Amino acid sequence: MIIATFSGVRMIHNDQYQIHVRRYTSAFSRNIKQIADVQEKSQLASQINKNIVVVGRDGREVSQLYVDHVLQVLVDHGFKPLYVDTVPTPTVQQLVQLKHAVGGIVITASHNPGNWCGLKFLGPSSLFLSPDECQIVYGDLQNEEAYDNPKPECDRISSEEAIKIHVDHVLKSNLVKVQQIRDCNFKIAFNGMCASGNAYIPYLAEVLNLQLLRYNSNIGPLPQKPEPTPQNLQDFKDFIQSQKSTIDVGFAVDPDADRCVIVDQFGEPVLEELTLSLCVEYVLSQSAEQFAVKNCSSSMSNDVICRSHGANIIETAVGEVNVALRMRELNARIGGEGNGGVILSDAHLGRDSIVAICLILSYMAVSHHPISTLVSKMPKFTVIKEKYEFDPKNRSNLLLKMEQLKSFTENHPDQFRILTVDGVKLIYDEKLKWVHVRFSNTEPIVRIIAEAQTENECKELIKKVEDLVFK
C-alpha cells in the first residue's frame, strides 16, 4: 500500500521499494527546478542553488535501504545531493534554508510503525511541497526500473555537524533564553523513540547545561507504538517514576522528531494539544505579536490565550504546510498543530521538537515555575478524537453528507458558526465548544474531533455529527 499526500509518500516496506523510491524521487527531480522558478518569480524564495538537494533519514531500520536509491536518482538528474544521515526532519528543513538548496528529501514515515517507510519532499523555501506542487510531482510518475546496486557519489556531512548547525540557529532567537536555561541546570527526561531525536539530544543538553535521563535512546528498531501520545507513554511514565531522583520536565518526540509531547515532573504525560498552547503563551508573553496560526483541529486554548494578549488566532486546513504558508503570508512568529508540532519562524517554517523544547525550557526559566504549574494555568478543555474507517468507494457519499451538514448549520446561524477550510467545523463561540469532521490526509479514515469544557459535551457533539454523516 502506498499513500501519497502533501504530507509525503508513505508505504509498507516490501521488496518493491526500490521501484517506488525511484519513481517518486525521479518525479521530484524532474519538477523541483520548475517549482523553484515559480517561487523565485513570486519572491517566495531567493538565492537558490539549484544543484543542491539535502537528504536525511529518520533512523528507522529500513530507512538505510532507501538512501542510495534516493541519492542515485538525484545524481542521475544532475543534482549534487548533500547527505546528512540520521537527523530530524526539521534539521533537513533548516539545512535547506541555510544552504539555499533547491529542495530536500527526508526518508521517513513519521509516526508510522517500523515496517513503514516513505519520503517527505521539501521545496526551496524549506517548506513541504504545497498541495498544488504535490499534484505536479505525483502527476509525473513514470515506469522506471530499479537500480541493481547503486553506489552514488555525493557530498556528505555528519549528522552531528548538521544538528550543530540546526541547534545553533534555533538558539539565536531572542525567545530562547540560553543563559537563563543554563543557570537552571534542569534535569530532563527524553524519549527519542529509538530514532532521530536521539541524534540531537546530547548536543542540545550540552549547550543548555541539561542533566539528561534518556529512554528509547538507541537508534534502530522503533517501539511498537512510536507516536508520542499520552496513551502511548505509559512505559515512559513508569520509567521516570522508577528513578531515585526527580526530573524537572520530560519530552517525547516522534521518529522524525518534528512533534513533541511534554511529561511533567511527576512523569504524567501532558495532553499533546498543550505543547503548542504553552509555547503560544510564552511567545506572546515575551513579544507583542499580532497573529498566531493553528490548524482548525487544534485546541481553542490557543484562541483564549491569544485573546488575553490582544492577538488574533488564524485557523488553516490541517497539515503543516498549510500552517506554514499562512504564517509566511502574515509574517507570524508562532504557530503549529495540536499534535505537538510547534513552528517558530525565527528558526524555519516547519514543526520542530528542538524549537518546542527550547521554548518550554525558556518559559520555565523565565517564570521560575515548575512545568506542572504552567500546565495548570492553561485554559481547561476536554478533547475527544474519534476516527472511522471507510471504503474509499464510499467517499463521494460521505462528501455529500458533509455538504448536507453545512446546510444544516447554515439554517441555525444563531447557534454556531461554520468553518469549511478543511471538512466542516461547527464552532459554538459563546459556549466554548466545537466539533470538526474531515477526511484524513494520510489514511482512508474520517476524523471527528470535539472540544468542550466537559466530556459529556464532547460526546454529544460527536454523536450529533455521527448521526448526520454516517446514518
Q: What is the pLDDT of residues 15-68, one digit of tens each?
A: 999 999 999 999 999 999 999 998 877 766 668 999 999 999 999 999 999 999
CB 469 within 8 A of CB 445: no
**Helices 17-41/63-76 angle, 10° precision:** 50
pLDDT bin (cut points 50, 70, 90) of residue 471 is confident
- CATH of region 166-376: 3.40.120.10
Radius of gyration (C-alpha) of the chain in whole angstroms: 22
Asked whether this chain's domains 2-157 and 166-376 adopt the same fold, the reply is yes
> Phi and psi (nearest 5°) for 245?
-110, 155
| Helices 455-470 and 395-410, axial angle in degrees (round to 10) | 120
Using alpha carbons, list the distances in angstroms from residue 183 to 30, 65, 177, 180, 449: 50, 43, 10, 5, 41
For residue 298 the three cell numbers come to 487544534
The secondary structure of 116-178 as a DSSP string is EEEEEEE-TTSSBPPHHHHHHHHTT----PPPSS-----EE--HHHHHHHHHHHHTTSTTS-H
What is the residue extent of each domain of the chain?
A: 2-157, 166-376, 382-470
Instruction: List the one residue out of 371, 379, 357 whose CA is nearest residue 453.
Output: 379
Q: 382-470: CATH homologous superfamily?
A: Alpha-D-phosphohexomutase, C-terminal domain (3.30.310.50)
pLDDT tens digits along 168-195: 999 999 999 999 999 999 999 999 999 9
What's the confidence (pLDDT) of residue 415?
A: 74
Please give the model's pTM, rounded to 2 decimal places.
Answer: 0.95
Strands 445-452 and 382-389: antiparallel
For the chain, what's the residue count? 471
- Mind listing the pLDDT tens digit for each residue in 325-346? 999 999 999 999 999 999 999 9
Look at domain 2-157 and name its CATH class.
alpha beta
CA distance 199 to 186: 20
For residue 45, what pLDDT is reported? 65
